[in-house]
Amino acid sequence: MNELDKIQEAKYFYLQMVKEKENRMNLKFSLSAFLSSSRSVLQFALNEARTKKGGEKWYSDQVSKNRVVGFLKDKRDINIHEEPLTLKRDIKLRLSETIHIGEFLTSVLKDKDGNVKGQFTSSFQPIQGAVDKGIITSKYSFENWEGDEDVISICEEYLKELESIVDDGKNKNFLTN
């Protein structure tokens, strides 16, 4: 059963994507490998299911009923046969600034005619605050995906769906154990 080997391979590249999620090029390289290995799961399943009555229809139903499976199947085909994938990058930058506040007070004592009789000036007492550094995060998504999920989330769901398809195929005797 080659499907299980390819699922393990796809999981490996998925974990590489998670590790490299802030490095655009490494993420794209791992995504390309993920798409190829995960697509092989479906190709092996189709080849095996075709040998059994109703197997090709079962396969077609599995792929067409799930938008993630169909979407990433198509992304792999584009990536291999047409052009490298492009990813949309949303960058969030969080900056904070610390303001130091202090007091400086001058009191002037005057007589009834307005003449200055005395003056008191307090010293400057700054109130110290914590300095927070800027934080940059990136979220990569597919350009024509209609949901809010990022690339990592979609790939994680794809892995779950592939495992479900393989399990279903085994349960229905389209795929061997």
Note whether residue 38 is domain-resident: yes
Query: What confidence score (pLDDT) does residue 134 get?
Result: 74
Provide the number of structural domains found in the chain: 1
- B/e letters for 26-45, b = 16+ CB within 10 Å, e = fewer, are ebbbbbbbbbbbbbbbbebb
Note whether residue 14 is domain-resident: yes
Structural domain including 42 reads 2-90+143-171
Note whether residue 111 is domain-resident: no
| Element of type H or E holding 119 | strand 116-121
Query: What confidence score (pLDDT) does residue 54 get?
Result: 95
Note whether residue 130 is domain-resident: no
Note whether residue 77 is domain-resident: yes
Query: What confidence score (pLDDT) does residue 29 get?
Result: 95
Note whether residue 129 is domain-resident: no
Q: Return the DSSP state at 174.
A: S
Query: What confidence score (pLDDT) does residue 2 get?
Result: 86
Average pLDDT per run of 10 along the chain, which is 177 residues long? 90 95 91 95 94 94 90 90 88 71 69 79 62 76 88 95 95 90
Note whether residue 147 is domain-resident: yes
Looking at this protein, which amino acid is placed at residue 149?
A: E
In this prediction the pTM is 0.74
Note whether residue 167 is domain-resident: yes
